Chains A and B, each alone.
Chain A
Amino acid sequence: EPEVTQTPSHQVTQMGQEVILRCVPISNHLYFYWYRQILGQKVEFLVSFYNNEISEKSEIFDDQFSVERPDGSNFTLKIRSTKLEDSAMYFCASSWRQRNYGYTFGSGTRLTVV
């Protein structure tokens, strides 16, 4: 069964450093998403991406965050200057059509900011 692949599975970074979380969505999917889950809290929407642009973003997704699809296969989330409160599990997801909400999530990247 096709999978969404996320790398790395765990990243530790110093506060203030930039991090890039990488995702390879399912190949025929067109809609891409990032969610995060802070330990003990809900899974929260960050951003959706379609046709090489952001289609929707949450209040969490401020100027420190950016997304990119640099080639035909990768989808990345960049955090420019990490804060302690950015520590969370970050999930990438993809879907083949709009509002097919049964989208496929990756296994996540655990980001720890120290």
Chain B
Amino acid sequence: DQQVKQNSPSLSVQEGRISILNCDYTNSMFDYFLWYKKYPAEGPTFLISISSIKDKNEDGRFTVFLNKSAKHLSLHIVPSQPGDSAVYFCAASEGGGGSEKLVFGKGTKLTVNP
């Protein structure tokens, strides 16, 4: 059951450059999407979210883009900093259908090199 897919297990970028993390989904009932960041030995930390009625949401250095027709979302981090090095999880929900659960992707490990 791969309703949410993060096809790149890892990504390495230079400090100051843009990091782009990608996520694809198959369930057309998903109407809310989130990105979480996770450091080792910690729980996931909420980063940014987007509703399906929008195609972009921005919060400081983080921007999430949603392309519903392609069932694709991406997280842009500009500029990338070494402290951004973590595992990033994409997650989705059928909130409109009354579901409470989040469906997660497998994660992408981002390394930002100084």
Contact = CB atoms under 8 A, between A and B. Distances in A.
A106 B106 contact: no
A42 B106 contact: yes
Given A101-B32, A107-B42, A55 B104 contact: no
Contacts of B93: 99, 101
Contacts of A104: 46
Contacts of B101: 45, 48, 56, 58
Contacts of B107: 42
B39 to A, nearest CB: 10
B34 interface: yes
Interface residues of A, number: 25
Contacts of A4: 43
Contacts of A31: 100
Interface in B96-114: 99-107
A93 to B, nearest CB: 8
A93 B34 CA distance: 15
Contact of A56 (B36, B41, B46, B99): B99
B100 A55 contact: yes
B43 A101 contact: no
A43 interface: yes
Contact of A48 (B49, B91, B100): B100
B100 A91 contact: no
Given A31-B100, A48-B101, A105 B43 contact: yes
6 contacts: A42-B105, A42-B107, A99-B93, A105-B36, A105-B45, A106-B43
Interface of B: 32, 34, 36, 41-46, 49, 89, 91, 93, 95, 99-107
- Considering the complex of A and B, which 9 residue pairs feature the smallest CB-CB distances, nearest first? A105-B43, A45-B101, A102-B46, A48-B100, A43-B104, A99-B95, A56-B100, A105-B44, A42-B104
